[in-house]
Structure 1
Amino acid sequence: MSDRPLPDELRWIRAAPEGEAEGPGPWIEVAEGQGDDLIHLRETSDPATVVTTTRTKWEAFVKGVLAGEFDHFAEIEAESDTGGHTGGHPGSGTGGGSDTGSDAEGPAARPEAP
């Protein structure tokens, strides 16, 4: 976490199941710092508590999610008839956020600037 005040102009992107971004949540929201190479995360149920990390660490995390390294945290049924579990990612139809993109260099890793 950072003790520095957050910039007022942060654009928070809500990660919620497709079509549920306006639902009750609570959801995770992500914002990109402008010019400071930082990524900020918060829960909609407690927006005053913000976790801040570096872009490098965020990109490593996103790549891990896309590679399935965290699938065991979610119980998302595969849409195919393989009978296994799979982790969802934007564009897969099994989860995602209000923003789209499936590669670590896309919007999931780098939220758009306002």
Structure 2
Amino acid sequence: MPHFEFVKSSHSGGNAGQECVEVARNIPATVAVRDSKHPDGPVLHLNPGTWRPFLRSLHSEQA
């Protein structure tokens, strides 16, 4: 299993109990996403072609 280097979202509030995701992009052709409150829980694996439209959809929801 690859070693993912997760980074907490820059949109994280940083306070206990706040919802947040961590993303790892250090493995070629894979974007890994996990819940920061459950680092040993499931990890969603996406290809970059799926990740980009997902991010765009989130940004359009905030507008």
- TM-score over 0.5 (shorter chain): yes
Structure 2 gap segments, 5+ residues each:
none
| 2:61 equivalent to 1:65 | no
Percentage of matched positions with identical amino acids: 14
Other-structure match for 2:7: 13
Higher Cα Rg: structure 1 or 2? Answer: 1
Greater fraction of residues in helix? 2
Higher relative contact order (CA 8 A, sep 6+): 1
Q: Secondary structure of the equivalent of 2:2?
A: coil
TM-score (norm 2): 0.72
What number of residue pairs does the alignment pair up? 59
**After the TM superposition, which parts of structure 1 deviate over 3 Å for at least 4 consecutive aligned residues?**
none
How large is the Cα RMSD of the aligned pairs?
Answer: 1.9
TM-score, normalisation: structure 1: 0.44
Partner of 1:42: helix, strand, or coil? strand
